[in-house]
Copies of this chain bind each other. A is one copy, B any other.
Amino acid sequence: MRPPGIEPGSHFQYNLNMKIAVAKGDGIGPEIMEAVLNIFKAGKVPLQYEMVEMGKWVFDKGFSNGMTPEAKATIERLGILFKGPMETPKGKGVKSVNVTARKTWNTYANNREFQTLHGVDTVFSKAGIPIDITVVRENIEDTYGGIEHMLTHDVALSRRFITRPGSLQVIKYAFEMAKKKNARRITCGHKANIMKITDGLFLECFYEVAKDYPELKADDVIVDDLCMKLVTRPDLFDVVVLTNLQGDIVSDLCAGLVGGLGFAPSANIGDHICIFEAVHGTAPDIAGKNIANPTALLLSGLAMLRHVGLTENASVIENALLYTLEQGVHTGDFGDKSIPSVNTTQFADAIIGNFGKKPAVGAKEIIPNKPGTPEPLKLELNPMMVSVETGDETIVGVDLFIESDEQPVAIAEKCKRHAGVKFNLTNISNRGTQVWPTGSIYTNLVNQYNVRFESINDEPLNQQDVIGLYVSMSGNFKICSFELLNAWGDKKAYSMAQGQ
């Protein structure tokens, strides 16, 4: 599945004095980026920067994906993008430049580290509960595919997909990262008790990968329970891996635990391109005033330095940051109000002045920089990720999603006439609840039914059989959608309706 020679986490050891792409971002982006690059310069970080054009003003110039073709080419050539916060214009039907970048370049893992920062007060720090959680969020799939349709005037559908190769990719990354971090525990958050097939697949992949890491304690927890535990005993968790939407929610929850998005770095990891960014807003109300807090962008930058092997630079700067926070130095958005706040430049200068110092709590080990290795892999074709099938694939039926405001019994009578000699009408459901052959009078209906036809005696069907049924049924109903009912071997690959 992965191109040969590419191992997760190891494919970004570049030559020293390498170049990376930098996009300053909108609003407060330019000033916090300047602060961070000044800290890097003072810290003698051996990187060169190539500025690229992305963000609101690029949308405004007419580039509908929020980046210039030159920016795209530069990022693909250099393989690393360091970016400030960006704004996507609202109401123009354009998609978020942040999401487009993550999906187009297949940065399949979103890595976010949340740690207690002394000097940043939260209810948890006051209660003496230490936080050190890494959330790994799948970054491509789930409803973030954005595939949505109105089936009827009343019924909207979002196709939530989870794939085996996509799940394995992010989970392998999470285990590798957990191993490097010497994690106490790696936990899969999921909702497989309800989404038995999609989240069931993700959970199955999690335990499949876990077998290769017997040294790590791997377990799982249902996502709602996870969120309850995160606000009562966050110290119980270390690395948590989740699907996209659940990971989005859990990672912002964790950002809240350590003080908010102003203290939460974000890394988007792919096999060819990685994006390190501040995920907070562009704060247009304070833009240009030199008062914004650059901590989240700096922490994202430190994750980038470690990713490209500049571990010594990263630890020296991080120790200076932690020491500075411990001393009570703060911008206006956080910290002890009895100590006057500093501006963005002063905050950066304070960190620079503290190079070589170590915080009392949580000092980072100084690990020598690693020499650079190969250039990023160039591709000739889009990588196709296919896993080996187990069991013969057969079609055993079809679900037809029809528009109708009739009662279930009337629909069943009509459908039975179309079943022919190959199909049985086995079930009719409305919003996932069975309404025929049995059901409850108390089930409220919307004008879209799922009519399930299965093959008689589980005989394998072909597409011609399905087409025949479809043609016949379309004489009576508008068919908004269908899903084939597949089986692999004798394992049926579809859910039963509630009550079926």
A391's nearest neighbour on chain B, judged by CB, is: B153
Chain B contacts of A389 at CB under 8 A? 153
A249 is an interface residue with CB less than 8 A from chain B: yes
A109 is an interface residue with CB less than 8 A from chain B: no
Question: Complex: how many Å from CA A393 to CA B154?
Answer: 12
Closest Cβ–Cβ distance, residue A254 to chain B (whole Å): 9
Residue in contact with A232 in the complex, picked from B122, B169, B248, B250, CB distance below 8 Å: B122
Question: Complex: how many Å from CA A168 to CA B479?
Answer: 25
**Interface centre among A95, A129, A194, A386, by most B CB within 10 Å?**
A194
Question: Complex: how many Å from CA A27 to CA B259?
Answer: 40
A127 is an interface residue with CB less than 8 A from chain B: yes
At the interface with chain B, which of A14-22, A293-301, A435-443?
A: A435-443
Number of copies: 2
Residue in contact with A143 in the complex, picked from B150, B195, B382, CB distance below 8 Å: B195
Contacts A100-B498, A232-B256, A384-B447 given; does A153 touch B146 at CB 8 Å: no
Closest Cβ–Cβ distance, residue A197 to chain B (whole Å): 4
Residue in contact with A251 in the complex, picked from B200, B224, B382, B442, CB distance below 8 Å: B224
Residue in contact with A154 in the complex, picked from B76, B165, B435, CB distance below 8 Å: B165
Contacts A157-B198, A246-B249 given; does A442 touch B494 at CB 8 Å: no
A471 is an interface residue with CB less than 8 A from chain B: yes
Question: Complex: how many Å from CA A157 to CA B481?
Answer: 14
A480's nearest neighbour on chain B, judged by CB, is: B484
Residue in contact with A228 in the complex, picked from B253, B387, B444, B471, CB distance below 8 Å: B253
Contact between B194 and A143 (Cβ–Cβ < 8 Å)? yes
Residue in contact with A446 in the complex, picked from B76, B163, B230, B252, CB distance below 8 Å: B163
Chain B contacts of A431 at CB under 8 A? 103, 140-141, 145, 161, 163, 166
Question: Complex: how many Å from CA A148 to CA B484?
Answer: 11
Q: How many residues does chain A have at the interface if contact means C-beta atoms less than 8 Å apart?
A: 136
A497 is an interface residue with CB less than 8 A from chain B: yes
A49 is an interface residue with CB less than 8 A from chain B: no
Contact between A150 and B385 (Cβ–Cβ < 8 Å)? no
Question: Complex: how many Å from CA A431 to CA B102?
Answer: 13
Contact between A249 and B261 (Cβ–Cβ < 8 Å)? no
Chain B contacts of A95 at CB under 8 A? 496, 498-499
Chain B contacts of A302 at CB under 8 A? none
Contact between A257 and B231 (Cβ–Cβ < 8 Å)? yes
Within 8 A of B (CB), among A440-470: 440-448, 450, 463-464, 467, 470
At the interface with chain B, which of A318-326, A344-352, A485-493?
A: A485-493
Residue in contact with A144 in the complex, picked from B156, B253, B432, B493, CB distance below 8 Å: B432
Within 8 A of B (CB), among A276-327: none
Question: Complex: how many Å from CA A443 to CA B379?
Answer: 10
A141's nearest neighbour on chain B, judged by CB, is: B431
Closest Cβ–Cβ distance, residue A450 to chain B (whole Å): 7
Within 8 A of B (CB), among A232-273: 232, 245-246, 248-253, 255-257, 259-261, 270-273
Contact with B along A392-413 (1 / 0, CB 8 A): 0100000100000101100000
A-B contact pairs, 22 of them (CB 8 A): A95-B496, A103-B498, A143-B194, A143-B195, A143-B198, A144-B432, A146-B432, A151-B484, A153-B164, A154-B163, A156-B161, A156-B164, A156-B200, A157-B483, A223-B249, A227-B252, A227-B256, A382-B408, A382-B441, A382-B442, A383-B445, A480-B486
Given A95-B496, A157-B483, A480-B483, 15 other A-B residues pairs in contact with their CB atoms under 8 A: A65-B499, A72-B440, A122-B232, A141-B431, A145-B432, A147-B399, A148-B195, A148-B196, A148-B495, A149-B485, A151-B483, A153-B488, A157-B161, A382-B441, A479-B484
Q: Which residues of A are at the interface with B, using a C-beta cutoff of 8 A?
A: 65, 72, 76, 93, 95-96, 99-100, 103-106, 108, 122-124, 126-127, 129, 140-141, 143-151, 153-166, 169, 191, 193-198, 200-201, 223-225, 227-232, 245-246, 248-253, 255-257, 259-261, 270-273, 379-387, 389-390, 393, 399, 405, 407-408, 429, 431-433, 435, 439-448, 450, 463-464, 467, 470-471, 474, 478-486, 488, 493-499
Q: Which 7 A-B pairs have the closest CB atoms?
A: A145-B432, A150-B493, A231-B256, A148-B197, A224-B252, A228-B256, A227-B253
